Amino acid sequence: MAGVLYVVATPIGNLGDLTVRAREVLAEADLVAAEDTRHTMRLLDHYGLQARLESLHDHSSTRRIEQIVARVADGDTVALVSDAGTPLISDPGFELVRAAREADLDVRPVPGACAATAALSVAGLPTDRFRFCGFPPAKAAARERFLTELAGASATLVLYESSHRVVATLAALADAFGSGRPAFVAREMTKRFEQYVRGSLGSLAEAVAAGEIPTKGEFVLVVGGAPEGRADDGTLRELLAVLLEELPASRAARVAARLSGRPRKECFAIAEALRGG
Ligand code: SAM
């Protein structure tokens, strides 16, 4: 009989957040496939659990994935874990789960902590529809495309960011979506210095730049979706025409983006066209 591949969530900071079932599955698994075995060893040690650990990360070979799939097919129970939170969510594991599904194996979740849903659950922003965006691209062109694509999305957005890029990312979000967009910063959730700040993209960008929100630790950014009442093309052109009487195109575009809920780049392109005309 084939075994089971369990996808096991682990804590995102507070070790007390490992579920009872996760402990049982980790203790009983024939193999724990871990993103970083030393990291997972500390978690297992904390609970006095013994397990056979092997590494599985984004650079693992196809052969390695095939070996794990073969073990499950032969009847072993394998538990997949990442360093923190839910595997596959901006973490390794996708190739293994896809391969196991393609082999028609039994793949079951052991749900638990996930930074995205933890932040969303306390942000006070709409949760009926949300879009998980992972880490924004680091390279300028890809980042610009990413922001342009998301600017008009009406769902609440959830982003991961590292401490050394959070200042630039909040500034870029404020610039692309309008500084008035409601947003939320969750820093170091469940840890000693956890911090939660609600504000507008503009005020949060200023708070991190000024050090009121320290750029230390781990961050999730939650951003309210684009307002539903987005101005149509005609209204936007009229608005820009009036603004252009008083302001240069870039500032007119910025104000129009904020008032209309349309992306700044789109407003700028129309402003330039109006100027040209
Ligand atoms: N698989 C994980 C999950 O389920 O959330 C995410 C792993 S991803 C490599 C790490 C990122 O998640 C961090 O850079 C940060 O954006 C976010 N994160 C993880 N733990 C966090 C925490 N305790 N507080 C705030 N953000 C956290």
pLDDT at 256: 87
Task: Tell me the pLDDT tens digit for each residue of 164-223.
Answer: 999 999 999 998 898 899 999 999 999 999 999 999 999 999 999 999 999 999 999 999
Task: Tell me the pLDDT tens digit for each residue of 25-83.
Answer: 999 999 999 999 999 999 999 999 999 999 999 899 999 999 999 999 999 999 999 99
pLDDT at 207: 97
Q: Tell me which residue of 92, 48, 56, 58 sits closest to 72, measured CA to CA.
A: 56
- Ligand 1 atom nearest residue 116's Cα: 5
- Ligand 1 atom nearest residue 114's Cα: 4
In short, whether 12's Cβ falls inside 6 Å of ligand 1 is: yes
In short, whether 268's Cβ falls inside 6 Å of ligand 1 is: no
Query: Has residue 234 got a pLDDT over 90?
Result: no
pLDDT at 229: 67
For the ranges 205-214, 234-243, 264-273, the one whose mean pLDDT is highest: 205-214
Give yes or no for a contact between 54 and 4, defined as CB atoms under 8 angstroms apart: no
Q: Whose CA is nearest to atom 13 of ligand 1?
A: 218
- Ligand 1 atom nearest residue 115's Cα: 5
% of the chain surpassing 70 pLDDT: 99
pLDDT at 92: 97
Q: Whose CA is nearest to atom 2 of ligand 1?
A: 85
pLDDT at 259: 79
Q: How confident is the model at residue 277 (pLDDT cuts 50, 70, 90)?
A: low
Task: Tell me the pLDDT tens digit for each residue of 100-135.
Answer: 999 999 999 999 999 999 999 999 999 999 999 999
In short, whether 117's Cβ falls inside 6 Å of ligand 1 is: no
Question: How far apart are the CA of 59 and the centre of ligand 1, in A?
Answer: 20
The pTM (predicted TM-score) of the whole model is 0.87
Question: How far apart are the CA of 10 and the centre of ligand 1, in A?
Answer: 11
**87-93 CB contacts, 8 Å cutoff, 24+ apart:** 87/7, 87/8, 87/9, 87/35, 88/7, 89/114, 89/115, 89/116, 89/132, 90/134, 90/135, 90/160, 91/35, 92/35, 92/56, 92/57, 92/58, 92/60, 93/7, 93/56
| Ligand 1 pocket mutation pick from 82, 218, 223 by most atoms within 8 angstroms of CB | 218
pLDDT at 224: 97
pLDDT at 257: 83
Question: How far apart are the CA of 255 and the centre of ligand 1, in A?
Answer: 34
Q: In sequence order, which residues have a C-beta less than 8 Å from that of residue 265 and are 6 or more positions away?
A: 148, 151, 176, 253
In short, whether 10's Cβ falls inside 6 Å of ligand 1 is: no
In short, whether 266's Cβ falls inside 6 Å of ligand 1 is: no
Q: In sequence order, which residues have a C-beta less than 8 Å from that of residue 258 and are 6 or more positions away?
A: 178, 179, 180
